[in-house]
Structure 1
Amino acid sequence: MLGRLRPVAGPTAFDRLVRDFIGNGANRVDRVARLAANNDAPDLRTLGQQAHDLISTAGNCGLRRLEEAARQLQSACDAGDAARARALGGLIGTLGPQSWRALGRHFLETAD
């Protein structure tokens, strides 16, 4: 989706849009990782909602591995599988920052 918006949005608006996606996506990844790492038991309902939102955000940015991990996390939350949700939240906590940095390198550094 983002690649198709570049010529339509113009350089300044596109740069701002990508930075917003990266900032919002990184915040969501942080929330997912924090919720999943809860020492008691992860709040599967809230974690599933965050995963649902991350599926959309990552998908819109073309981050397929992150999108799939979030999809699996949502499924684990829906199934009540706290152990799997915790593991997937940890994976997303690692994969997410890498994905958002790669997105920035691809769309922002090429524009400089």
Structure 2
Amino acid sequence: MVLSHLHGDHFDRIARRSLDTSLPILTTPHAARRLESWGFGGAEAMATWQSRELVKAGETLTVHSAPGEHTPGWASWLLPPVMGSVLRASRRGRRAVAEGLHHGGHAVSTVAA
């Protein structure tokens, strides 16, 4: 799972109760710390421009962390840090089947891992 940021409309009580706590969750350092404190051992903090490859059954998803902003201006200090993401999917070493998909950072995106 790619979690752009953490607050109630993106990771609510139902998600907290229902999700497998070992599920890989790629997110901001801020969100990863909170998720780990809730028992989500699969939470992984990503610094801006860091990349992570997830491989399963011959398919690879590469997640590149990109700068993100929840809102511009003065209100930004009221809101949690945000991570944008660029995703690249490939199958069995072949060229990318999806390349350059940008997730701008205002939702939860589930990705096959």
Bin of the TM-score, shorter chain as denominator length: under 0.3
The one of the two structures with greater contact order (alpha-carbon pairs below 8 A, sep at least 6) is 1
Name the structure where strand makes up a greater proportion of residues.
2
Per the normalisation by structure 1, the TM-score is 0.25
**TM-score (norm. length: structure 2):** 0.25
Structure that is richer in helix per residue: 1
